[in-house]
Amino acid sequence: MSNIFQSIGMLARHRDEAVGDTLLRLGAFLRERGHRIALEREAAERLDGWSQASATREEIARSSDLVIVVGGDGTLLHAARSMADRDVPLLGVNLGRLGFLTDISPDNMLDTLDRILTGDYDEEKRFLLRAEVGPPGRPDASRKAFNDVVIHKWNIARMIEFETHVDGRFVETQRADGLIVATPTGSTAYALSGGGPLLDPALNALVMVPICPHTLSNRPIVVSGDCVIDIAICGRTDPRNVRITCDGGDSLKASREDRIRIRKDEHPIRLIHPSGHDHFNILRAKLGWSGHPVK
């Protein structure tokens, strides 16, 4: 039996007790196949019955040929941000709800993995965003995002005002609840809820989606993925009432003198899918689109 990936790391939503059975089945299956495996230490410490190796996330990123992520899309988003610099491929087992990224069901997990681990799989690369906040040329903080970077109001019931530039060209000053800057991956997330378009994951593009804009002519804009987007808080908006959030998690603050710069991160993420992976099949299944009529 040929093993394409010899050393396999496992990450999981360790606060969720429902993942335990899946992790134990997965660990036994991989050990029987002869793979070297390590489960993230925080998950291993919470899992009764785990007797195999454990490691920190950093150690898994350094030593793994493949990382299997057990959970929902949020778990994979977090893994992508922490693994991208190491160029290690990720494979998602879906225990969440929608599962646009984690596309392996636990019901057929072992059969699907058996094919993938012998080389029968599809691989794609997707890019992440980097958000930098601070004085121009001297950012104080930097974060990565796989789905989106969102500039939004914070603990107030009124809109915020901000200026937007793309590659140094002024776009507009707008008043809104905020602005979503999303990757093609993130076009199925918050940006979709905000009325943005669905982007093919293979596109080198970004979508800018205003959140409840005051001017009704404000509409989502699609720009090149190589663009640099600069945003500055302006007008009567108090910067203390604004936050910059990456993938719905990490939150940054900005002052009036700061520039919020969003651009493509230099390290893409590698995703492994079952052979025959079709993004449109996923859209039909997850968004409830109609299929072909039965003849």
Alpha-carbon gap, residue 161 to 153, rounded angstroms: 9
Catalytic-residue membership of 85 = no
Alpha-carbon gap, residue 268 to 125, rounded angstroms: 6
Q: Which of 73, 103, 148, 230 is catalytic?
A: 73
Q: How many CB atoms lie within 10 A of CB 292?
A: 6
Q: Which residues are catalytic?
A: 73
